[in-house]
Structure 1
Amino acid sequence: MNKYLSLLLLFGFIQIPLFAQQKILKEAIERAEREDFSGVILVAEDDKILFEEAMGMRTYENRALLHEYDIFELASLSKQFTAMMIMMCKEKGLLGFDDQLSKYIETPYPGISIRNLLTHTSGLPDYQAIMDEHWDKNKVAGNPDILEYLREYAPVKSFDPGDKYEYSNTGYVLLASVVEKVTGEDFVDLMREWIFRPLGMKNTAIRSLEEKASVKDFAAGHLKDENGNYVNANTFHSSDYTIWLGNRKGPGRVSSNAEDLYKWDQALYTDKLVSKETMEEAYTAFKLNDGTRSYYGFGWEIKPQSPFGKMVMHTGSNPGYSTIIVRYLEENKTIIILNNNAHPDMMRLVEAATLSLGKW
């Protein structure tokens, strides 16, 4: 993901005449359409959507066209919502960022704080590898199963907490489990009550496979088959984990559309969910044990300097899906792209959208 930040910086500092900025985005979109990009792009500034367009297919099998309001699997963009749940628990006095994980969850890995989990500095091993090796894939696993297998098999940690940054889905499984422990509530229900409903995010939820199938506006993820045709990603064996790990909570599984994500983006400038002081902590890079910065906060990658000042962002990837949200905090500029055919043009559109964010 760091290479994407470098691309944004490179493109953002090129001086482009204002009259050419919209043309750059238009040409990038036209190229993407010619090359079969399927997705939705939204560009906004100062609480106003400047550009929104859908292209491609909701489902290739029946040639159903994609629309701006269609719902996508967000994959790891979900982590920013999990981090917010922890921040809300902290403001409610239910936990502290520097509390030890062992205060809430029993694991064979001592010395890990809630802050380590939020910032991917825990050193925890990958839960999916352990589950893939030992789990009966005729059953659907959830967080309690993942925690049980981590305790039973206790794979070796990658490093001591705080020594370095290493992206960890395991850490975000544990964060969701901590939320359930301190609230006594189901994480899925609580996220709906604490975040989605208050912000009017009517199209956003953590959905089961059955619930996704019942949503007519759900954009299926697609991959190319051996003949070069786009087919539903669930037909590939490599996608099976989304089924047998289908009850996991925390690292992914939120589904939403572009306009709901924009509501979320705008709410983060307010104190509707947590205080601005807590949000500032979320946008602060973690200091590692050796004094260097990891540049990941609470569910956000952080770049202190960019073409438009401080930038935070996150990407997501699931079979057939690529997603990204880029937020220029100092100028309230936002780029959201949701893609459902794992297309290589994704970042080219981000670059073009960044270039377009001048005067419209």
Structure 2
Amino acid sequence: MRKYFFPYIATALLLSLLFIACNSNPQPAVGKPLMPEPDEPTKVLPSSPLQYADTTKPEYRAIVERLDNFFRRYASTGFNGSVLVGQNGKVLYERYFGMANRETGLKLLPNSAVQLASVSKTFTGTAVLYLHQHNFININHPVQEYLPTFPYPNITVKMLLCHRSGLPDYYKWIPAYRKDQKTPINNNQMLDYFIKFKPGLEFRPDARFKYSNSNFAFLALIIEAATDMSYPDFMRKFIFEPLGMKNTFVFEAEKGLPATATISYRPNWVRDPVMFADGVDGDKGIYSTVEDMYRWDQSFYSHLLLNKETIDMAYAPYSFEKGGKKNYGLGWRMINNPGKERVIYHNGWWHGNNTVFYRFVEQNFTIIMLGNKYNTSIYKQAPVVYSLVKGMETSGDFESEE
């Protein structure tokens, strides 16, 4: 039975007692479920500004000068975006290069929200684990427990989280059945396509890893089913607001973008038009800023949403069919270097947005780059930034594709 938590607990208890007293065969309580309030985040981050390193110190000043020289050169070759480098809970470097909206002349600013693309998966995965931690979802249970019409009985929630489901990517196969490629569909409509056409799985569930956007689109629906809230509302109330992420939101096609959101551009500064997949959330669709992303990054060190046990589960590798250091956890990519730095990260690409989010978790060192003009070389820059700050090359091959 689904767990319910009423907004007015005293009234709910009284009504329940009266109902039981008057009915010899009581049924489960019916009402709108409400998630447990987060314990600490609202008391910690919203009123606390980000902390900044003292860059007047010679050792920091030299690092900032090296980074400035590098990013000015990189911007001159086409990079248009925001950058933040954090170390030990403090912002070491923060810069904005280029335009949020070229047509209006609006430059990138601290409140300029960029489409995170697949970096959104880190949020969706964490939301599911938060619900698992609070016993609203059991990730080891079948997806059909939460989405009864889901047409694949042997796929569990965990298989979605670590991309071991075998589901084909909706983005690639739905166009064959849909003439209108311009009007966005939502997650429920995506589910309807799977129900109607039931495309074959690419492999037996849990047989191997293959990245598929469908996995995280279905996770967004599971969040909605478990909470009786829309995915955007849940993320706002239980993730963004508690962590003080005031410029972060889920794109809702019917509402359009706020004025602070950046425009997505192709390399020639032509806008990337909205298309059918833009209305699907969970796999992408979250807009944020580098400052808010650093708040997101730091929340894991403070266990503001997930406890240590759940975080360790999220950061663990789950696919071993191929050798090598790269793997995927529950919503996170990773580079595991035995005896050396461990990198927990995710890249993103959607339309003209290329995004980078690298976390050296043992060092509490973070690199965030959010670009809104198509530039795939962004994925190769994190090792350069690391070497400029740390004075050494990384031993991890983490300039990965999205």
Same fold (TM over 0.5): yes
Relative to structure 1, is the Cα distance of residues 292 and 72 closer, same or farther in structure 2, using a 3 angstrom cutoff? closer
SS of 1:233's partner is: coil
Q: Which residue does 1:78 correspond to in 2?
A: 120
Distance in structure 2 (CA, Å) of the matches to 1:95 and 1:288: 26
Which of the numbers 193, 215, 235 marks the counterpart of 1:191? 235
249-258 or 126-135: bigger deviation: 126-135
| Deviation of the 1:311 alpha carbon | 1.0
Relative to structure 1, is the Cα distance of residues 350 and 306 closer, same or farther in structure 2, using a 3 angstrom cutoff? farther
User: Per chain length, whose mean CA-contact separation is higher, i.e. which structure has more relative contact order (CA < 8 Å, sep 6+)?
Assistant: 1
Which of the numbers 294, 299, 312 marks the counterpart of 1:267? 299
Is 1:219 aligned to residue 266 of structure 2?
A: no
Which of the numbers 176, 180, 186 marks the counterpart of 1:133? 176
Letter paired with 2:302: T
Alignment of 1:22-37 (within 5 A): 24-37=66-79
Q: Which residue does 1:97 correspond to in 2?
A: 139
Is the 2:119–2:348 contact (alpha carbons within 8 Å) kept by the matching residues of 1?
A: yes
Is the 2:214–2:283 contact (alpha carbons within 8 Å) kept by the matching residues of 1?
A: yes
- Report % sequence identity: 29
Which of the numbers 99, 124, 127 marks the counterpart of 2:167? 124
Alignment of 1:341-360 (within 5 A): 341-358=373-390
| Deviation of the 1:232 alpha carbon | 1.6
Is 1:39 aligned to residue 78 of structure 2?
A: no
Letter paired with 1:339: G
Relative to structure 1, is the Cα distance of residues 104 and 294 closer, same or farther in structure 2, using a 3 angstrom cutoff? farther
| Deviation of the 1:188 alpha carbon | 1.1
SS of 1:245's partner is: helix
Which entry has the higher C-alpha Rg, 1 or 2?
A: 2
SS of 1:336's partner is: strand
SS of 2:70's partner is: helix
SS of 2:91's partner is: strand
Q: With structure 1 as the length reference, what TM-score do the two structures score?
A: 0.85
Distance in structure 2 (CA, Å) of the matches to 1:219 and 1:146: 26
Q: Which residue does 1:67 correspond to in 2?
A: 109
| Deviation of the 1:104 alpha carbon | 1.9
Aligned residues: 331
Is the 1:25–1:349 contact (alpha carbons within 8 Å) kept by the matching residues of 2?
A: no
Is 1:282 aligned to residue 325 of structure 2?
A: no
139-148 or 68-77: bigger deviation: 139-148
Is the 1:308–1:330 contact (alpha carbons within 8 Å) kept by the matching residues of 2?
A: no
Relative to structure 1, is the Cα distance of residues 37 and 290 closer, same or farther in structure 2, using a 3 angstrom cutoff? closer
SS of 1:230's partner is: coil
Q: CA RMSD in A?
A: 2.5
Distance in structure 2 (CA, Å) of the matches to 1:208 and 1:94: 25
Relative to structure 1, is the Cα distance of residues 38 and 269 closer, same or farther in structure 2, using a 3 angstrom cutoff? same
Is the 2:318–2:327 contact (alpha carbons within 8 Å) kept by the matching residues of 1?
A: yes
Relative to structure 1, is the Cα distance of residues 289 and 320 closer, same or farther in structure 2, using a 3 angstrom cutoff? closer
Q: Which residue does 2:53 correspond to in 1?
A: none
Residues 91-122 of structure 1 deviation map (CA, whole Å, 9 limit, x = unaligned): 11122121111222233323111111000010
Is 1:114 aligned to residue 157 of structure 2?
A: yes
Q: Which residue does 1:318 correspond to in 2?
A: 350
Distance in structure 2 (CA, Å) of the matches to 1:292 and 1:116: 21
Letter paired with 2:359: R
Structure 2 gaps, min length 5: 1-58, 392-402
Which of the numbers 309, 329, 332 marks the counterpart of 1:297? 329
Is 1:339 aligned to residue 371 of structure 2?
A: yes
Distance in structure 2 (CA, Å) of the matches to 1:128 and 1:344: 20
292-301 or 140-149: bigger deviation: 292-301
SS of 1:155's partner is: coil
| Deviation of the 1:164 alpha carbon | 1.2
SS of 1:295's partner is: strand
